[in-house]
Structure 1
Amino acid sequence: MSPPAPAGTTPPGNRLLYRFILVAAAMYLGWFFGYEQWLARDGRLDAALCAHITKVSVAALHALGFDAAVAAANDRLVTMNGQSAVIVGVPCNGLVLYALFTGFVLAFPGPWRRKLWFIPAGIGLIWCLNILRVAALAINHHYAHQSLDFNHHYTFTFVVYACIFGLWMLWARRLAVPARPALPASTPTGAVSA
């Protein structure tokens, strides 16, 4: 049993929790005022992300040997064999997922050196998953249209959020913990260390 904390001090566990809550709240306010009140209303960032996801998903489908294209009249529409397959809308462009992932890692305590490589690596993985998701939805639409709605709303959502949760757990359990110094060599039995 640990001794009680002196009056007027916050136990270390609570201090980390309060820090997490304050940083998360500040990031939420930044998201609300920066994105919801400005960037979302402007629409250019979302439009560019949607068009980018569409273009790269079509390239992935081409690499897999499918006859896919970006529709001439709509740069957010993936076509398969000349037929409409998937429209990449604003909720599906990945921006919110990047922000959620980044916000958690920034709010959670941990070494900044690791955050500087882990956040871009995680965003890159989420981006790849989103590309694969859009490509898989286009294939799903082409071969089994009746299961598209279920897979869009449940299967792929579960896979993407499970991956993000796995990244968060990797951060919280392995990477956020500072490296421990090497332990000194043990002393032989019966020996006294100075």
Structure 2
Amino acid sequence: MKSFLKNRVVVFLSLAILLFTIWHFSYYYIINPHTGIDKAISLNLAEISNQLLCWIGYDSVVDYYKTEEYIIVRMQDSWLPGVRIGDPCNGLNLFGLFSVVLIAFPTLVKRKYSINLHKLWFIPLGIVLIHLVNVIRVAVLAIIASYNYEALNFNHDVTFKVITYSFIFLLWYIWIKRYSGFNKIAKKE
């Protein structure tokens, strides 16, 4: 059993590192400079966050032209600058990280190395859920920025990173427990 797990772990880590390296280079050398996906995700994130803020009673606005690199969500009546959404914060890298781990994670279905079809729906669902967590993050950060701008950096850099990565780990945990097939192996042994 130990050699089986060791081999699976080595295969998983090797594949995850390879796929993440491919994702990283693809993102920085092809996707980011040559496509508009980052801007589209940032804009979508800003618009949905703004709608959420309006829905819960805040008078917020999205500024598209403050800089070319960022979209800003801020409160209409506030003199404070609001929350900037740029390429590093729009969640695309998290989508890649989430997907790479699930793609690389070995699954056991009926045959020893067959493809687990649950990945075909769980990865897109996970990406949508991560995006929604990011929407809530931007909305809450916009509220924080309107009341206490000094607290924005701590909450951006610490609080919401812990929340977001914890959510991604929860999704991975759910995947492993419910859909990877490893629970069935553990019960048999």
Alignment TM class, shorter chain as reference = 0.7 to 0.9
Which among 5, 23, 27 is matched to residue 13 of structure 1? 5
Deviations 1:82-104 (A, max 9, x none): 44311101111001111111111
Letter in 1 for 2:105: F
Instruction: Return the match for 2:71 from 69, 73, 76.
Output: 76
Q: What CA RMSD, in Å, does the superposition of the two structures yield over aligned residues?
A: 2.3
Across the two proteins, how many residue pairs are aligned to each other?
173
Structure 1: distance between partners of 2:88 and 2:12: 26
2:55 counterpart of 1:37: no
Please give the TM-score of this superposition, normalised by the length of structure 2: 0.82
Equivalent-residue separation in structure 2 for 1:128 and 1:70 (angstroms): 18
Aligned to 2:112: none
Contact 2:65 2:71 in 1 (8 A): no
Which secondary structure state, in structure 1, belongs to the residue aligned with residue 181 of structure 2? coil
CA distance in 1 between partners of 2:183 and 2:38 (Å): 39
Among 74, 79, 94, the residue aligned to 1:97: 94
**Stretches of structure 1 lacking an aligned partner (at least 5 in a row):** 5-10, 181-194
Specify which of 97, 104, 108 is matched with residue 107 of structure 1: 104
1:121 to partner: Cα distance? 1.4
Greater than 6 Å deviation, 4+ residue runs: none
CA distance in 2: counterparts of 1:32 and 1:150, whole angstroms: 27
- Do structure 1's residue 57 and structure 2's residue 26 form an aligned pair? no
Rounded to whole Å, the distance in 2 between the matches of 1:43 and 1:148 is 30
**Structure showing greater Rg:** 1
Indicate if the aligned counterparts of 2:47 and 2:62 stay in contact, CA closer than 8 A: yes
Which whole-Å CA distance do the structure 2 matches of 1:172 and 1:155 have between them? Answer: 26
